[in-house]
Structure 1
Amino acid sequence: MGRRRDGRAGDGRAGRENVMGMLRGFVDDRRGVTVIEYGLICSLLAGLLFISIEASGGRAMSIISSVASSIGATD
């Protein structure tokens, strides 16, 4: 038998029950699902953008570089 934080002896069941309650609450909470879905959509779009830039054979990168240098030239 160990000692609890408050100095009293305990078998640890209360702590395990508290952790299990927190885990059940986390699993039942649906608020984060939308954030995860948006994150997956964003990563899919970023991947598609990367693939399309790579497939263009560097043409897209030259356009982006041209625009970037034009923006930098106006400073």
Structure 2
Amino acid sequence: MKDLEIENSRLREAIVHLTLDKLISQEASWRNVRALLAEASASTMSGVCRPPPSPTPAGRSVGTDRRKARRAAATRTT
């Protein structure tokens, strides 16, 4: 019985060490993933993947400008 208890405590200690190694490996891999994501977002924030600015002023659509131009042209002809 004493031999089984010794073997049991040895196995529990091995499990603790393996679990700790696994957690350390996971943390290291997450750090690598976070670093890659941060690097990717930094490169997109620098304008590499950003769409070009809109030619119309903010809050106004192209359709609004066209309607105004048609109304102005209609009032000039009448």
Task: Note whether the superposition's TM-score is higher than 0.5.
Answer: no
Q: Higher Cα Rg: structure 1 or 2?
A: 2
Higher relative contact order structure (alpha carbons within 8 Å, sequence separation ≥ 6): 1
Larger strand proportion of the pair: 1
In the superposition, the TM-score normalised over structure 1's length comes to: 0.39
